[in-house]
Amino acid sequence: MNWTENWPTGLMWVSVLLFVGALFAVMRFLRNASERQDGLDWSADEDADEIHPERRPSTKGFVAVWVLVFVVAMALSCVALAHRPGRDRVLPPDGVLWTPEALLQDFFRSSEQVTYQQISLTPKEQAQLAALTRTDREDPTQLLYVARTGADVDGYAFLSEIRSSGDPAAFGVQLGTDGRVKRVEVMRLLDPDQQEVLDSRFLHQYEGRTFSDAPRLHRGVERPVECTSACRDATQAVRRALFLVSKAQSGGELEVASPMPTERR
């Protein structure tokens, strides 16, 4: 991940440096405040202050030290907040988190209509998509959703839930008119042991990806250790979505269908 995506790690190192600096400052302040003025026992503090006024502990230094400690505490708190574990989401009995209709409405809240389109793939394109998604074969007909307001296209969406309702995990991918991924959601998850895929920190890594990133997507996205098949399915769904949007924008063959899906294929 680049520095934009990995800012919590950078903040962590900054907070560590601040913390070390604060420790040195505190130790030096305490040493200066506790050491005897010149190695002798004076009968009165005011005598020592008169002889060595420069050795008097500095109030300004004390305030500066604690301001630095406060800054360090705030930085560490930000790191802890950024790396906090995601909240556990309770899976429904059927594992369905989003229906196709509900997710499309949430993807395109301000669009006037959302239609789905059938994209016909040539044998060569099927082979290209299969190589990209690392599957044995791809269907010659794929579904891509297009949101419009008037004659303008607002964005695209691909739902793997529509493609196959038998997979243990299904995803919805929203893409902008520039072909970049805007959002990825888990639509269905049947395996409770794969709940790490619900972590928003994992799903956010797909945002901003383009078709040129698709072949190396598995290297650019860090997945949780315990997330295996579901996270691979997420990467596969994003790759398929990027491929279909690229074909649609390049003037590929599209067959306009009904406004909203009424049944699953």
CB atoms within 10 A of CB 63: 10
Contacts of 232 (CB under 8 A, 6+ apart): none
Contact 191, 168 (CB under 8 A): yes
DSSP letter assigned to residue 204: G
Q: Are 171 and 187 in contact (CB under 8 A)?
A: yes
Q: What is the pLDDT along the chain (265 residues), one digit of tens a residue?
A: 444 445 555 666 666 677 677 777 767 767 766 665 555 454 555 555 555 555 455 555 666 666 666 676 676 666 655 555 454 567 788 889 999 999 999 999 999 999 998 999 999 999 999 999 999 989 999 999 999 999 999 999 999 986 665 678 999 999 999 999 999 999 999 988 899 999 999 999 999 999 999 999 888 888 888 888 999 999 999 999 999 999 998 875 444 444 554 433 3
Which of 73, 84, 60, 59 is closest to 23 using CA atoms? 73
Residue-wise pLDDT for 44-76, tens only, equals: 555 555 555 554 555 556 666 666 666 766 766
Structural contact between residues 241 and 175, judged by C-beta atoms closer than 8 angstroms = yes
